[in-house]
Amino acid sequence: MDQTVSNPLLVPFDNPLLICFSHLRWDFVFQRPQHLMTRAAADYAVVFFEEPVFETGSIPVLRRKTVAPGLEIVTPVLPHCPSGSEVDRAIAILLEDLVAGIEHDQLVTWYYTPMALKFTKALQEDVCVYDCMDELSAFKNAPPELERLEEQLFGKADVVFTGGMSLYESKRSRHSSVHAFPSSIDTAHFHQARRPQADPADQQSIAHPRVGFFGVIDERFDIDLMARTAAAMPTVQFVTIGPVVKIDPATLPTGRNIHWLGAKRYAELPGYMAGWDVGWMPFALNDATRYISPTKTPEFLAGGLPVVSTAIVDVVQTYGRRGLVDIADAGSMPAALDAALRRGCEMARVDAFLSGMSWDTTWSAMHDLLKPAKVLRHQGFRSLVDHV
């Protein structure tokens, strides 16, 4: 449930440190954690703490890289350890040394993964945030202890954010201060796709019309729908950008009109989108997609593309009902894509809707909620979970 606190911040943020514990690596795909932590660096010294990497013969050490003013990426580098408990102890020691070596008078811990609780118990934070961007327990290969640790994180957190409205409805009863912050948009970045420009080299030889997708290719991507739709529309070219994870690349469909271009940098995406005619989101409808709020929805729209999607709940509720995204199933997908190719994007309606969205606005609203959360902790109030 939403909670509003009007008290001013008791202690000013003179020298605050924010440590973000993420299951996603900084250089994997630029998405919600990267957007928010980049903006957080204007208000905090931000440490983006990644999951460990293992290198035979190494000693436990932190690999550190500054990627922007006030923003450092930290990766534990460990030798291969015989048990998970040894890994957690090694990371806990490295983390304790890291925090001790950074001068700060406030500490905010920001969790994307409850799994980080296994090595953060000794931290004495002023504010604890759980930014629940996905239902990780529903993802392929989810750790068996994830749900138990998430319950602990709800008890520890001062404030909880969710990455969409479906997640908000699912989590709102588990904490006294849950706030929905659905996927937002860097409009200026994706508006670049509206300008005429030369195709990237690996897209130049692909004919038109083009239907495009970018994002992670995993169990959420409906490869059977891709194969059937491409077969039903042989004169349309299907372009897909993104890393393939958790599924065998050999299972991806092939064909003369199917093009897998691999992962691209965030800066490159508008250049590829400029050469597409429709953006589509062929998500499977399964446990892993039940609560997703795809960031690419507003990104496609900001790029000037008409968009067709399967019936992802948050997409239907936020965009489909407003007529901004066409919703189709396997049987109607070819017809929906064909209609979108003929219709194009209704720029005025899209721009009016997106005008109220930005990652800057999202971060500002989140940051404001951290201040009353700190007041509550100093006054001795914690989440309702603590009192059950």
227-254 pLDDT, tens digit each: 999 999 999 999 999 999 999 999 999 9
Give the separation between CA 287 and CA 125, rounded to whole angstroms: 34
Greater confidence, 4 or 206? Answer: 206
pLDDT at 112 over 90: yes
Inter-residue contact 247 to 218 (CB < 8 Å): yes
Question: pLDDT at position 14, please?
Answer: 56
Inter-residue contact 116 to 145 (CB < 8 Å): no
Structure tokens at 179: 């706030």
pLDDT tens for 194-227 read 999 999 999 999 999 999 999 999 999 999 999 9
Inter-residue contact 276 to 239 (CB < 8 Å): yes
How would residue 67 be classed by pLDDT, with cut points 50, 70 and 90? very high
Question: pLDDT at position 379, please?
Answer: 54
Write the CB contacts of 71 (distance below 8 Å, at least 6 apart in sequence): 37, 38, 41, 46, 48
Share of the chain above pLDDT 70, in %: 91
Question: pLDDT at position 386, please?
Answer: 33
How would residue 85 be classed by pLDDT, with cut points 50, 70 and 90? confident
Average pLDDT over residues 341-348: 93
Question: pLDDT at position 81, please?
Answer: 66
Question: pLDDT at position 377, please?
Answer: 63
Greater confidence, 9 or 380? Answer: 380
Question: pLDDT at position 3, please?
Answer: 34
b/e burial code for range 356-381 (CB count within 10 A of at least 16 → b): ebbbeebbeebbebbbbbbbbbeeee
Question: What HEC string does the chain produce?
Answer: CCCCCCCCCCCCCCCEEEEEECCCCCCCCCCHHHHHHHHHCCCCEEEEECCCEECCCCCCEEEEEEEECCEEEEEEEECCCCCHHHHHHHHHHHHHHHHHCCCCCEEEEEECCHHHHHCCCCCCCCEEEEEECCCHHHCCCCCCCHHHHHHHHHHHCCEEEECCHHHHHHHHHHCCCEEECCCCCCHHHHHHHHCCCCCCHHHCCCCCCEEEEECCECCCECHHHHHHHHHHCCCCEEEEECCECCCCHHHCCCCCCEEECCCCCHHHHHHHHCCCCEEEECECCCHHHCCCCCCHHHHHHHCCCCEEECCCHHHHHHHHCCCCCEECCCCCHHHHHHHHHHHCCCHHHHHHHHCCCCHHHHHHHHHHHHHHHHHHHHCCCCCHHHHC
pLDDT tens for 154-176 read 999 999 999 999 999 999 999 99
Ordered by where they begin, the domains of the chain are 16-184+359-387 (3.40.50.2000), 187-354 (3.40.50.2000)
Comparing 138-142, 199-203, 213-217, 260-264, the range with the smallest average pLDDT is 138-142
pLDDT at 374 over 80: no
pLDDT at 1 over 70: no
How would residue 371 be classed by pLDDT, with cut points 50, 70 and 90? confident
pLDDT tens for 18-53 read 999 999 999 999 999 999 999 999 999 999 999 999
How would residue 383 be classed by pLDDT, with cut points 50, 70 and 90? very low
Inter-residue contact 374 to 9 (CB < 8 Å): yes
Give the separation between CA 385 and CA 14, rounded to whole angstroms: 30
The pTM for the full model equals: 0.89
Question: pLDDT at position 357, please?
Answer: 94
Structure tokens at 346: 């209704």
CA proximity to 19, closest of 138, 101, 82, 85: 101
Give the separation between CA 49 and CA 301, rounded to whole angstroms: 32
According to DSSP, the β-strands at 71-78 and 61-68 are antiparallel
Question: pLDDT at position 375, please?
Answer: 56
Task: From residue 81, give the alpha-carbon distance in Å to each of 53, 84, 92, 145.
Answer: 11, 7, 14, 20
For the chain, the C-alpha Rg in angstroms (whole number) is 22
For the chain, what is the mean pLDDT?
Answer: 90
Question: pLDDT at position 388, please?
Answer: 27
